[in-house]
Amino acid sequence: MAKATITFEDINVTVTVPAGTRVIEVSEKVGSGITYGCREGDCGTCIMKVTSGWNHLTEPSVLEDKVLRENMAGKHNRLACQAQALGGDISVRPV
Partner 1 sequence: MKQLELSDRQGHPKAVKLSERVHWIGALDPNLRTFDIILKTANGTTYNAYAIRGSEGIAVVDTVKEGFADDFFARLESIADYDEIKVIVLNHLEPDHTGALPELMRRAPGAQLYISQKAQSMLKALLKHERMSYTPVLTGDRVSLGDRNLEFLHTPYLHWPDTQCTYLPEENILFSGDVFGCHFCDNRLFNDRVGDFRFSFEYYYAHIMRPFKEYVVCALDLIEPLPISVIAPTHGPILHDRPERYIRRYRQLSGPSLESEISPQQKTLLIFYISSYGNTRRMAEAVYSGAMQVPDVRVSLYDLEGGEVEPFVDLIEEADGLIFGTPTINGDAVKPIWDLLSSLTVINIKTKLGGVFGSYGWTGEGVPLVEDRMRGLKMRVPIPGLRVKLIPTDEELDSCREFGFQIAQELMGLRKRKVLDMADLV
> Is residue 19 involved in binding partner 1 (CB under 8 A)?
no
Query: Which region, judged by CB under 8 A, interacts with partner 1, from 53-61, 67-75, 76-84?
Result: 67-75
> Is residue 63 involved in binding partner 1 (CB under 8 A)?
no
> Is residue 51 involved in binding partner 1 (CB under 8 A)?
no
Q: Cα(81)–Cα(42) distance, rounded to whole angstroms?
A: 10
> Is residue 18 involved in binding partner 1 (CB under 8 A)?
yes
Angle at 30 between CA 77 and CA 60, to 5 degrees: 25
Cα separations (Å) of 67 from 59, 64, 71, 89, 93? 14, 5, 6, 25, 19
> Is residue 35 involved in binding partner 1 (CB under 8 A)?
yes
Least distance (Å) from partner 1 to the CB of residue 40?
Answer: 20
